Chain A
Amino acid sequence: MSGLQDLKKNLFGGTTSVGRQFGMIFTLVAIILLFEVLTDGLTLTSGNLIAVVSQYSYILILAIGMLMVIVAGHIDLSVGSVAAFVGIVVAKAIQNFDLPWPLGIALGLVVGALIGAWQGFWVAYVGVPAFIVTLAGMLLFRGGNQFIGNADTVPVPEGFRTIGAGYLPEVGPATGYNNLTLLLGLIACLAVAWREWRSRKTRQEMGAEPAPLWISGLRLAVMVGVIIFATLRFAGGRVGTSLPVSGIILIGLVLIYSFYTRNTVSGRRIYAVGGNARAAELSGVKLQRVNFFVMTNMGILAALAGMIFVARSAASGPQDGLSWELDAIAAVFIGGAAVSGGLGTVSGSIVGGLVMALLNNGLQLMGVGVDLVQMIKGLVLLFAVALDVYNKSQGRFSIIDSITRPFRRDEPPAAVPPVESPRQTDKTPAAG
């Protein structure tokens, strides 16, 4: 293994999909730097970063749910329609019944859960492929949106708009920054430091050699650096702005779902079902429950995304959520999930979604038309997944490798194939 690979493995932890994630983070950084240059520094301004977060947070929220659906071996085409449907139901309910807005949000989540349960029922208990169920749902709930809203827009009250267009309040001393955002940044720095310490301790307890101290330090320094940079940017925008509320919701969800999918028994079952449903079943996993859960969960997250969008645009309309499902699915696949299920991570999907978001944003800042932006996004999706497929067929995983490969020659080690059991091999020369 080359020193570069060692470093890479150590910088990004030691799991199987590491290489892929490294590649995506690399791509993300490259895209940011590219547009930073092409837009003369517009990309990384406070105003633009805040805009990107509030503009794409709902897609990223969808990507979290979509990741779980795809890992379980399904797909959900209905999320955009479900989001629009929930948006109009909530807006109408607040308008017609004077529902207080917090209750409106609760109502939206319940409606989302019911829709998810409806689709989950067909997928898990009747066995209709999710593609069909959610294709039907896409039509059903898009029509439902227009039916309830008379194909018209319905405004939502001020309080409700917080979740989509709100910012953290300005409190404390006049530092020239949004103090609460600074506080969040500080907490984040402490959290990553704690996590680094924990993971070193865990590795020690496992009896494995923890990464050299300087690597831990370097990794920590890079992460803290990024967090401080982001904190200052988000806190240092126009007065009255900060890290958007929708961004905070997103970060909360990413943390919760990352933990859930990686560290809990029931989260792992999703991967088991997607990896080999029959094997999972014979290990005591209740397939139907897992499938029902991922679809229901997707409904709830779609409802949340829909409401955030409505809050941001101050009204619910018939065109809400159009083709969101495609953005969410693209994010998940760019983020390294397998089409056949069983593979993928929440963080990968978020990185994949950010790649798409920043690409979109950068091209828009450059004044590229919507038509071209779509074409470019399509090609990026295709190439990202094609590169992954190619790398897998070559038995390697990362972009870095494929760039440096022509310059390196790996001498294969001498013939020492895996031998089944340790035993003395006699040295009789080959006869005959």
Chain B
Amino acid sequence: MSAAPVLLEMRSITKTFPGVKALADVNLVVREGEIHAICGENGAGKSTLMKVLSGVYPYGDYSGEIRYRGEEARFGDIRASEQAGIVIIHQELALIPGMSITENIFLGNEPRTGLAIDWKTAQRRALELMKLVGLREDPDALVKDIGVGKQQLIEIAKAFAKDVKLLILDEPTAALNESDSQQLLDLLREFKTQGITSIIISHKLNEIEAIADSITILRDGRTIETLDVKADGVNEDRIVRGMVGRDMESRFPDHTPNVGEVFFEVRDWTVRHPIATDRLVCKHANFSVRRGEVVGFAGLMGAGRTELAMSLFGRSYGTWLSGQVFKDGREIKLRTVSEAIEHGLAYVSEDRKAIGLNLLDDIKTSIVAAKPAKIARHGVIDEVAEHRVAEDYRQELRIKTPSVDEGISKLSGGNQQKVVLAKWMFSDPDLLILDEPTRGIDVGAKFEIYGIINRLAEQGKGVVVISSELPELIGLCDRIYTVFEGTITGEVARADADPERLMKQMTTTKKMPV
């Protein structure tokens, strides 16, 4: 592979923002026809580097040189880089939900006859492109009506409509479940055989290990090293070492479980979909949580785990049909979010930016947001108490910020997640439901969050963890429930948990003997 000619070379790229040097002397060499991964923790400069490459930060905005196909490239904007065949697919998909697949594929790039859009050609080419990326859908279907995995494929089709030579994917599988991810990775391999070069940015190191030919690791805005996957015998631990600058002895902190009595129990929980009234998103779910226990919920995307959690949390999702909740042996009613909070439930949502946090808030306001009454007297907020509470959590959870008066939006993903955890810890919960608590968070912050979860369990709280990453569940949980299409299909103790068994139960309609 290393014999292949160099397609792209970025030489000592330096990019500064007011107050921060985001990239310092970064070098990147990508050879033709390879899959090149870029790894690094959040804030290491991966996305900035790609923005420099794609012309989001135009020539002159950075220092250093980009050589592409043997010539120096000076892209003034995204359009210029796309014309050269460099197409970037961002983590947040740039699709218009209310438009059809065809319309989206050719958005801004419509085939025309004169002034009018040539829809016939568009339709025909859309079908070709969809076939190329393995997307079987009606080209007239609206984007909002199809799943995230397929939306990702539309983005790729869109890239092909622009005659792509170098495809850049920023966290392409972050929102995908395992089978969709697998399909996407297979597709990249296929493109490789067709001579298309890809750059992939991902936190999922197992995927990178499986797919990449070479890996460039960034840390603190600098190039640390470039590894040849086959020649250097790279594995996940090796990548992690490069990213964090030392060996991580373990991906999970030490923890001795101290599990007590069952204190929280859900029986026969059934919930209907909010719009499709003939669909049940939870079907007669029964589960229990013990004091001091970390309970996992494994399932594919859309299995109904989030729906179950949110419907429990004050009926925040769907229509409740049946089911009871018992806490300490007594039935409790959780009809509204405030009732759920009063009864000691906390729900940390999977999408912290969309529904977990008010990004306009500062840190201290966010931390007290779930139970402001605790720091208020007669409805008037005690600012000193608020500040003290926030300061305590800042130290306890090691939230990286100069001050708790800072805005939430200035924090990195991992630190925002810690703020959300602080917010719900402050609400004095007995049961915390954490929905994808480490999504989009780098290795170091993940480790810290696992530590927080363990500490909560040690304090005798019940913790429910919903996660799409099986290794995470196996490493963290005392017990794991598997969910498939709204049904709890089984229950596995930590000692018996292995990925194959879980995966089997996550994809079966049959209820396993418990």
**Is A281's CB under 8 angstroms from B407's CB?**
no
Please give, as numbers and ranges, the residues of chain A lying within 8 Å of B380 by CB-CB distance.
263-265
| Set B20, B244, B354: member contacting A417, Cβ < 8 A | B20
Q: Scan B11-45; emit 1 where CB is below 8 A from any A CB, else 0.
A: 00000111111101001000000000000011111
Name the CB-closest residue of A to B445. Answer: A420
Q: Is B472 an interface residue (CB 8 A)?
A: no
Assembly CA distance A6 to B384 (angstroms): 23
**Is B373's CB under 8 angstroms from A265's CB?**
yes
**Is A412's CB under 8 angstroms from B16's CB?**
yes
Please give, as numbers and ranges, the residues of chain A lying within 8 Å of B412 by CB-CB distance.
418, 420
Please give, as numbers and ranges, the residues of chain B lying within 8 Å of A206 by CB-CB distance.
383-384, 387-388, 391
**Is A425's CB under 8 angstroms from B337's CB?**
no
Name the CB-closest residue of B to A259. Answer: B380
Known contacts A271-B360, A418-B43: A265-B379 contact under CB 8 Å: yes
| Set B216, B358, B415: member contacting A342, Cβ < 8 A | B358
Please give, as numbers and ranges, the residues of chain A lying within 8 Å of B45 by CB-CB distance.
417
Q: Separation in Å of the B67 CB from the closest CB of chain A?
A: 17
**Is A202's CB under 8 angstroms from B379's CB?**
no
Count of residues in A whose CB is under 8 Å from the partner chain: 51
| Set A268, A395, A420: member contacting B400, Cβ < 8 A | A420
**Is B222's CB under 8 angstroms from A415's CB?**
yes
**Is A278's CB under 8 angstroms from B19's CB?**
no
Assembly CA distance A284 to B347 (angstroms): 11
Known contacts A207-B391, A415-B21, A421-B445: A268-B381 contact under CB 8 Å: yes
Give chain B interface residues in 331-387, CB to chain A under 8 Å. 336-338, 340-341, 347, 349, 354-362, 365, 369-373, 376, 379-381, 383-384, 387
Please give, as numbers and ranges, the residues of chain A lying within 8 Å of B362 by CB-CB distance.
16
**Is A425's CB under 8 angstroms from B20's CB?**
no
**Is B444's CB under 8 angstroms from A421's CB?**
yes
Please give, as numbers and ranges, the residues of chain B lying within 8 Å of A275 by CB-CB distance.
358-361
**Is B370's CB under 8 angstroms from A412's CB?**
no
Give chain A interface residues in 411-432, CB to chain B under 8 Å. 412-426, 428, 430-432
Assembly CA distance A251 to B134 (angstroms): 67
Q: Is B442 an interface residue (CB 8 A)?
A: yes
Please give, as numbers and ranges, the residues of chain B lying within 8 Å of A14 by CB-CB distance.
405
Assembly CA distance A417 to B42 (angstroms): 10
| Set A207, A266, A342, A417: member contacting B221, Cβ < 8 A | A417
Known contacts A282-B356, A286-B338, A423-B246: A417-B381 contact under CB 8 Å: no
| Set B18, B225, B244: member contacting A430, Cβ < 8 A | B225
Known contacts A205-B384, A410-B19, A423-B444: A278-B407 contact under CB 8 Å: no
Assembly CA distance A286 to B341 (angstroms): 13
Name the CB-closest residue of A to B352. Answer: A279
Q: Identify the interface centre among A202, A415, A425: most chain B CB within 10 Å of its CB.
A: A415
Q: Is A272 an interface residue (CB 8 A)?
A: yes
**Is B219's CB under 8 angstroms from A272's CB?**
no
Name the CB-closest residue of B to A280. Answer: B358
Q: Is B487 an interface residue (CB 8 A)?
A: no
**Is A265's CB under 8 angstroms from B444's CB?**
no
**Is B355's CB under 8 angstroms from A276's CB?**
yes
Assembly CA distance A410 to B17 (angstroms): 11
Give chain A interface residues in 280-339, CB to chain B under 8 Å. 280-286, 338
**Is A266's CB under 8 angstroms from B379's CB?**
yes
**Is A283's CB under 8 angstroms from B365's CB?**
no
Count of residues in B whose CB is under 8 Å from the partner chain: 74
Known contacts A206-B384, A272-B358: A431-B226 contact under CB 8 Å: yes
Assembly CA distance A416 to B221 (angstroms): 8
Give chain A interface residues in 247-278, CB to chain B under 8 Å. 263-266, 268, 271-272, 275-276, 278
Known contacts A279-B356, A417-B220, A418-B43: A412-B21 contact under CB 8 Å: yes
Assembly CA distance A425 to B355 (angstroms): 35
Q: Is B313 an interface residue (CB 8 A)?
A: yes
Please give, as numbers and ranges, the residues of chain B lying within 8 Å of A414 by CB-CB distance.
21
Q: Separation in Å of the B93 CB from the closest CB of chain A?
A: 20
**Is A282's CB under 8 angstroms from B221's CB?**
no
Give chain B interface residues in 203-219, CB to chain A under 8 Å. 216, 219
Q: Separation in Å of the B416 CB from the closest CB of chain A?
A: 12
Name the CB-closest residue of B to A427. Answer: B245
Known contacts A268-B365, A421-B448, A423-B245: A432-B226 contact under CB 8 Å: yes
Name the CB-closest residue of A to B224. Answer: A430
Q: Is A343 an interface residue (CB 8 A)?
A: yes
Q: Separation in Å of the A265 CB from the closest CB of chain B?
A: 4
Known contacts A202-B384, A205-B384: A395-B226 contact under CB 8 Å: no
Q: Is B316 an interface residue (CB 8 A)?
A: yes
Assembly CA distance A272 to B355 (angstroms): 12
Q: Identify the interface centre among B336, B355, B362, B388: most chain A CB within 10 Å of its CB.
A: B355
Give chain A interface residues in 382-432, CB to chain B under 8 Å. 395-396, 410, 412-426, 428, 430-432
Q: Is B292 an interface residue (CB 8 A)?
A: no
Please give, as numbers and ranges, the residues of chain A lying within 8 Å of B223 by CB-CB distance.
430
**Is B221's CB under 8 angstroms from A412's CB?**
no
Known contacts A282-B337, A420-B42, A432-B225: A425-B414 contact under CB 8 Å: no
Assembly CA distance A98 to B245 (angstroms): 85
**Is B41's CB under 8 angstroms from A420's CB?**
yes
**Is A276's CB under 8 angstroms from B21's CB?**
no
Q: Separation in Å of the B341 CB from the closest CB of chain A?
A: 5
Q: Is A15 an interface residue (CB 8 A)?
A: yes
Please give, as numbers and ranges, the residues of chain B lying within 8 Å of A202 by CB-CB distance.
383-384
Please give, as numbers and ranges, the residues of chain A lying within 8 Å of B448 by CB-CB distance.
420-421
Q: Separation in Å of the B312 CB from the closest CB of chain A?
A: 12
| Set B27, B245, B372, B384: member contacting A265, Cβ < 8 A | B372
Assembly CA distance A276 to B409 (angstroms): 13
Assembly CA distance A428 to B241 (angstroms): 11
**Is B20's CB under 8 angstroms from A419's CB?**
no
Name the CB-closest residue of A to B20. Answer: A417
Assembly CA distance A266 to B371 (angstroms): 12
Name the CB-closest residue of A to B18. Answer: A395
Question: What would be 26 A-B contacts, judged by CB atoms less than 8 Å apart?
Answer: A14-B405, A202-B383, A265-B373, A272-B369, A276-B355, A279-B354, A280-B358, A281-B316, A282-B347, A285-B337, A410-B19, A412-B17, A412-B19, A415-B20, A415-B22, A415-B24, A417-B44, A418-B400, A420-B41, A420-B42, A421-B398, A421-B400, A423-B244, A426-B246, A432-B225, A432-B226
Chain B interface residues toward A at CB < 8 A: 16-22, 24, 27, 41-45, 216, 219-227, 244-246, 313-314, 316, 336-338, 340-341, 347, 349, 354-362, 365, 369-373, 376, 379-381, 383-384, 387-388, 391, 398, 400, 405, 407, 412, 414-415, 423, 442, 444-445, 447-448
If A279-B355, A395-B17, A418-B415 are given as contacts, then 9 extra A-B residue pairs at C-beta distance below 8 Å, sorted by A number, are: A265-B381, A275-B360, A410-B18, A420-B412, A420-B445, A421-B398, A421-B400, A430-B224, A432-B225
Chain A interface residues toward B at CB < 8 A: 14-16, 202, 205-208, 263-266, 268, 271-272, 275-276, 278-286, 338, 342-343, 395-396, 410, 412-426, 428, 430-432
* 4 tightest Cβ-Cβ pairs between the two chains A and B: A275-B358, A432-B226, A415-B21, A431-B225
